[in-house]
Structure 1
Amino acid sequence: MTGHKHCYGTMFHDSLHFSENDQMQGKVFSFELDSVGLARSARSIQTDLAEWDDCLACAEFAHCYKLCMAKLALENAISDS
């Protein structure tokens, strides 16, 4: 299907591919997994409320959100295997 906005389906960063000690930025949500040596020292998530408001105002929000959540569910299933 064509005609989607460039940000369609990108609320979250891909959780399967990330770099430690670096912010992984999606359109709305981002995360960082910090580590020192072999130990993970911190995990954090951030929400960009201005981008969230932009998403809420979008005509494709409901479908985009469902796609984002489906991608997260699949990533979670794959990472738990």
Structure 2
Amino acid sequence: VLKSLTKTNRMVVAEEGWPTCSIASEIIAVCMEEGFDDLDAPVMRVTNEDVPLPYAANLEKAALIDSARIIAAVKKVCYR
């Protein structure tokens, strides 16, 4: 991950989980500690909404990550 960060100087971490105490937060922590000098933009995290996962299909769809949210995060990191 750090080798890729040195090539691109940007990072978006997408995970179908909650934003705190997740694999995404650990990856971001390592990148901020060991690869901070390589970053040209803040690291973006795309995760599920920080709510209990709803049972209703329409609410579940709204709470889970989707490609539109990932694309928006990538554009934000690339300043577009």
Question: Which one has the bigger helix percentage?
Answer: 2
| Structure with greater contact order relative to length (CA < 8 Å, sep ≥ 6) | 2
Q: What TM-score does the superposition give when structure 1 sets the normalisation length? A: 0.31
Question: Which one has the bigger strand percentage?
Answer: 1
Q: What TM-score does the superposition give when structure 2 sets the normalisation length? A: 0.31
